[in-house]
């Protein structure tokens, strides 16, 4: 059994700061009181323990209160991505079987035509209250959240994440990173995404403040890192690059109290890591997914420089293997096992077992080095096979973003009558850079068969809510040419 997260934390450290958003702050006691009041109002709206509801809103303080209220009321929460289209949201609402959707007033039009009952934030605020018995203990297999996969490799699946999954993930993380009494985690990730939600979980388990941003702001983030008002942060390559650019403008450095920049969502270019070192920012690459309730492997701070580019070793409770390989350096699909792995899906995929002989196949290609450190190469579905040679788009992208005139790069395959497939690069340029320059730059750093056969300059690349590159959409761009 697991203690009710917020109730236990508010009992242990009631006066410690739990959340800050803009100019406002709340202690754990205040967070509990506000969330408990909302939970009583949800109960008064005929939402009962064990029911499944959907939640749609911006990543602000009000969303945090609603999330905790739902957990206190014993509801399963389907975390809806506010950046999806109406049709995508309709599909998820129908597939999830949610009895109601709780929605921020400003987003009500998005689900206005849905057949599922809608409950606006404002309606909840104006509701009567109804007393109920709060569960002091949770079963480890209780479903807390349901998040749909991003759809980068196929049809979205509703992934169940249990209390045990979330706790295991948080405990594994803190055993690797450590915990400081004055830790403040800057959360600019969307709360409907596992990377954002996991920060809320860590907050109540660790007794740690969350500094919440509704949207990522590179200027404000760089200022907070420089001034020492935050000690940790989660990023992807794109947001890391933007923070570094802000610091580089005036030769700024991270405050000595800044401890960790966790970088997920794909491997980080070595060029970015070297620039971060120059700004005194310790970047620890991490590897995880929706099905693993965030992190599975993370590089330790002591190995950050020695194993630059690695995702580290599996966290304490977790196991990783590379399928059908025997030797260090052999590439294959990454398989995961541990208490953080989802027990399964909902909706049309409810009967699909996510495991093979107890292991979760990830669809990612990786390898271990001689010391057992994990390196993620790319998505299996993104692999380009050209003339029998395997080409990993991420390798080419890392070379391209090292060019001073390139801000972002995305690579995918294009069908070729002779070679089967060849790499094509889409580039967001920082300066006036030509295709000829990029061609020469790549030829100096890549094997000939890996050099892109064409460069397309675009204003922006397709990304999902977590800023992951959607190579599937790049392939659609190629098909339209």
Q: What is the pLDDT of residue 150?
A: 60
Task: Give bridge partners of residue 17 from the DSSP assignment.
Answer: 27
- 426, 474 in Cβ contact below 8 A? yes
Question: Helices (H) and strands (E) in the chain — how many of each?
Answer: 13, 26
Task: Give bridge partners of residue 119 from the DSSP assignment.
Answer: 102
Same fold, 2-138 and 165-380: yes
DSSP, residue by residue, 191-203: TTSHHHHHHHHHH
Q: What is the pLDDT of residue 374?
A: 96
Q: What is the pLDDT of residue 339?
A: 97
Cα separation, 468 vs 379, whole angstroms = 12
CA atoms within 13 A on the CB side of 395: 21
Q: What is the pLDDT of residue 154?
A: 52
CATH T-level topology, domain 383-480: GMP Synthetase; Chain A, domain 3 (3.30.300)
Please list the ranges in the chain whose pLDDT falls under 70.
150-155, 481
Cα separation, 310 vs 303, whole angstroms = 9
What is the model's pTM? 0.86
> According to the CATH classification, is domain 165-380 in 3.40.50.12780?
yes
The CATH number of 2-138, from 2.60.40.1080, 3.40.50.980, 3.30.2040.10, 3.40.30.10, is 3.40.50.980
Cα separation, 68 vs 65, whole angstroms = 5
Q: What is the pLDDT of residue 153?
A: 44
Domain boundaries, the chain: 2-138, 165-380, 383-480
Instruction: Please enumerate in sequence order all residues whose Cβ is within 8 A of that of 140, keeping only pairs 6 or more positions apart, or say none.
Output: 1, 2, 162, 163, 164, 167
Q: Extract the tokens encoding 336.
A: 């995961």
pLDDT tens-digit readout, 59-99 = 999 999 999 999 999 999 999 988 887 888 998 999 999 99
> Average model confidence (pLDDT) for the chain?
92
- Looking only at the bridges linking them, the beta strands covering 455-457 and 420-429 are parallel
Instruction: Please enumerate in sequence order all residues whose Cβ is within 8 A of that of 361, keeping only pairs 6 or more positions apart, or say none.
Output: 323, 333, 335
Q: What is the pLDDT of residue 471?
A: 87
156 phi, psi to nearest 5 deg: -60, 140
Q: What is the pLDDT of residue 300?
A: 83
Q: Extract the tokens encoding 141.
A: 């297999």
DSSP, residue by residue, 228-290: TS-SEEEE-HHHHHHHHHHHHHTT----TT--EEEE-SSPPPHHHHHHHHHTT--EEEEEEEG
pLDDT tens-digit readout, 5-17 = 999 999 999 999 9
pLDDT tens-digit readout, 20-69 = 999 999 999 999 999 999 999 999 999 999 999 999 999 999 999 999 99
CA 62, chain centre distance (Å): 21
CB-CB neighbours of 51 under 10 Å: 16
Cα separation, 378 vs 368, whole angstroms = 14
């Amino acid at each position: 059994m697991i203690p009710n997260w917020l109730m236990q934390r508010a009992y242990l450290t009631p006066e410690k700061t739990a959340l800050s958003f803009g100019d406002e702050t709340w202690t754990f006691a205040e967070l509990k009181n506000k969330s408990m009041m909302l939970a009583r109002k949800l109960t008064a709206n005929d939402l009962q323990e064990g029911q499944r509801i959907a939640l749609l809103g911006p990543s602000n303080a009000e969303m945090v209160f609603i999330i905790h209220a739902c957990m206190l009321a014993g509801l399963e929460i389907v975390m809806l991505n506010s950046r999806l289209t109406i049709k995508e949201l309709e599909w998820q609402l129908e597939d999830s079987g949610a009895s109601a959707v709780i929605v921020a007033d400003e987003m009500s039009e998005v689900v206005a035509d849905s057949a599922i009952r809608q409950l606006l934030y404002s309606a909840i605020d104006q509701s009567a209250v109804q007393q109920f018995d709060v569960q002091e203990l949770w079963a480890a297999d209780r479903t807390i959240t349901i998040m749909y996969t991003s759809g980068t490799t196929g049809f979205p699946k509703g992934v169940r994440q249990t209390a045990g999954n979330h706790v295991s993930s948080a405990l594994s993380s803190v055993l690797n990173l450590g915990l400081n009494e004055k830790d403040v985690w800057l959360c600019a990730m969307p709360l409907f995404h596992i990377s954002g939600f996991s920060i809320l979980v860590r907050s109540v388990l660790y007794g740690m403040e969350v500094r919440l941003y509704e949207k990522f702001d590179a200027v404000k983030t760089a200022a907070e890192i420089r001034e020492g008002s935050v000690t940790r942060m989660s990023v992807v390559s794109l947001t890391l690059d933007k923070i570094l650019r802000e610091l580089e403008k005036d030769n700024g450095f991270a405050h000595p109290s800044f401890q960790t920049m966790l970088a997920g969502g794909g491997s980080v270019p070595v060029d970015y890591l070297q620039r971060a070192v120059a700004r005194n920012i310790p970047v620890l690459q991490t590897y995880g997914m929706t099905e693993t309730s965030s992190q599975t492997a993370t590089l330790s701070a002591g190995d950050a420089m020695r194993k630059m580019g690695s995702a580290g070793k599996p966290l304490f409770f977790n196991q990783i293997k590379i399928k059908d390989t025997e030797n260090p350096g052999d590439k294959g699909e990454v398989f995961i096992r541990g208490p953080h792995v989802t027990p399964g899906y909902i909706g049309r995929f409810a009967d699909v077992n996510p495991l093979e002989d107890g292991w979760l196949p990830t669809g990612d290609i990786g390898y271990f080095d001689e010391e057992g450190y994990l390196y993620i190469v790319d998505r299996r579905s993104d692999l380009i096979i050209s003339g029998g040679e395997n080409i990993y788009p991420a390798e080419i992208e890392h070379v391209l973003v090292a060019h001073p005139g390139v801000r972002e790069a995305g690579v995918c395959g294009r069908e070729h009558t002779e070679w089967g497939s060849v790499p094509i690069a889409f580039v967001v340029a920082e300066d006036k850079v030509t295709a000829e320059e990029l061609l020469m730059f790549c030829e100096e750093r890549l094997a000939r068969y890996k050099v892109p056969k064409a460069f397309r300059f675009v204003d922006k690349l397709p990304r999902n809510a977590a800023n992951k590159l959607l190579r599937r959409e790049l392939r659609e761009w190629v098909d339209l040419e």
